[in-house]
Amino acid sequence: MHDAQSPTRRSRPVRAAAVLVAALVSGAGCAPGPTAPTTADDGPTGAPATQPATPPAPTPTTPEDTVGSTRIVIVAEGLRLDAHLDDNPAARSLLDQLPVTITMDDFGGQEKIGSPPRPLTMEQMPEGADPDVGTIGYYAPSDGVVLYYADVGYYPGIAVLGQVDGSVDALVDLPDGTPVTIDRAP
């Protein structure tokens, strides 16, 4: 009698090993919790036809959807800018003063700056920031609310309060001493 296995018997362990490897590589059985079933009706994005047990947190894409922001308007000499303030201690201390009118002057051909009635808190704020064009900021060393219309780079003492939701090009033409009103959006 020959002790060699038949081709069918030899291929069973190989097939079983291949199935096991495929299952491990695909992550089958490794999910931390229940997953939603999918159907042949899944859309082009691959989203399941049924909702998962716990929906993912929304991803902010526009100021209107940004969780934790407050819509504001900035008005000066016929100019109206829609904007939002972030949810941070410095921005909340500005919100507490709204509506506020601040006399703003140009500084360095990069920004308009003016002092609010009361200084804003810098508690729990980063030591500085590199604001983007359109950023609403606060420069603590001179107690100034700042509307950036050009890049200024990183400076210690800058806190980002929020962002203008469109072009800030019109800020360039505002003369020194312009009263700028900041208020919650209606």
Taking residues 44-67, what's their average pLDDT?
42
Residue 24 has pLDDT above 70, yes or no: no
Distance between CA atoms of 133 and 165, rounded to whole angstroms?
11
Indicate if 50 and 106 belong to the same structural domain: no
Indicate if 10 and 102 belong to the same structural domain: no
CATH number of the domain within which 93 lies? 2.40.100.20
Q: What residues make up the domain containing 43?
A: 1-56
Last residue of a domain, one of 10, 29, 56: 56
Domain count of the fold of the chain = 2
Encode pLDDT of 129-138 as tens digits.
999 999 999 9
Contacts of residue 88, defined as CB under 8 A and 6 or more positions apart, other chains included, come to 124, 125, 159, 160, 161
Residue predicted with more confidence, 123 or 16: 123
Taking residues 37-55, what's their average pLDDT?
42
* pTM reported for the whole predicted model: 0.65
For the chain, what is the mean pLDDT?
77
Indicate if 135 and 74 belong to the same structural domain: yes
CA 96 from centroid of its chain's CA atoms: 23
Torsion angle of the four alpha carbons 92, 96, 101, 103, in this order, in degrees rounded to the nearest 10: -50
Last residue of a domain, one of 14, 34, 56: 56
Contacts of residue 169, defined as CB under 8 A and 6 or more positions apart, other chains included, come to 149
